[in-house]
Amino acid sequence: FFDQGDVEADMGLPISPNCDRKTTDASDCQVGFIHFILIPSFKLLGQIIPRVEKQIVPILRKNLEYWKRLQDPTLEANSEPESVSSEESFDADGSYEAGLFQVGESPSLSDTSLERLFV
C-alpha cells in the first residue's frame, strides 16, 4: 500500500486512503480490515464450510483484540493473550495448523486435507 502511495505522491496525485506512509496508522488499518472485511468474509464462507468459521473467526477475533490493544493500551492491559485451543496447534518447526491444512500449503483438489473441510 505504501508503495502505491509513494507512486501517487511522485505523480502529484492525491494519495489513496491507507497508502500514505507518513500518516497511516497500521493498527487502525488492521482493525478496520479485520472487522469489516475478514470476519464477515469468513463468516459467509462458514455458511458453506462451517469448520472455517468455527476455526478461523476466533483467531481473527484474537487478532482484532491485539490490534485494538495497540490502539488503546488501557484496554485489557493486564490480560494475557488467550492460549491456543486444543483444535489449534503449532508444530515443532513453528508451523501452524488449525485442523484444516498448514499455512503456506497449497492443497490440491485430491488432497485429503481438503476433504477434512467438509467433515
**pLDDT for 107:** 44
Q: Does residue 19 form part of some domain? A: no
Q: Does residue 79 form part of some domain? A: yes
DSSP annotation of 42: H
Q: Does residue 16 form part of some domain? A: no
Q: Would you say 96 and 102 are in contact if contact means Cβ atoms under 8 Å apart? A: yes
Supply the pTM of this predicted model.
0.56
Compute the chain's Rg from CA coordinates: 18
Given a cut of 50, the residues of the chain with pLDDT beneath it are 78, 80-115, 117-119
Q: Would you say 58 and 42 are in contact if contact means Cβ atoms under 8 Å apart? A: no
- For residues 31-56, one letter each, b for 16 or more C-beta atoms within 10 angstroms of the residue's C-beta and e for the rest, the string is beebeeebbeebeeebeeeebbbebb
Q: Would you say 34 and 66 are in contact if contact means Cβ atoms under 8 Å apart? A: no
pLDDT tens sequence across 3-24 = 999 999 999 999 998 899 999 8
DSSP bridge partners of 90 = 96
Q: Does residue 10 form part of some domain? A: no
Say how many domains are in the chain.
Answer: 1
Which residues constitute the domain of residue 94? 25-117
Q: Does residue 58 form part of some domain? A: yes
Q: Does residue 55 form part of some domain? A: yes
Q: Does residue 32 form part of some domain? A: yes
Where helices occur in 12-106 by DSSP H, the ranges are 26-33, 39-48, 50-71
Q: Does residue 13 form part of some domain? A: no
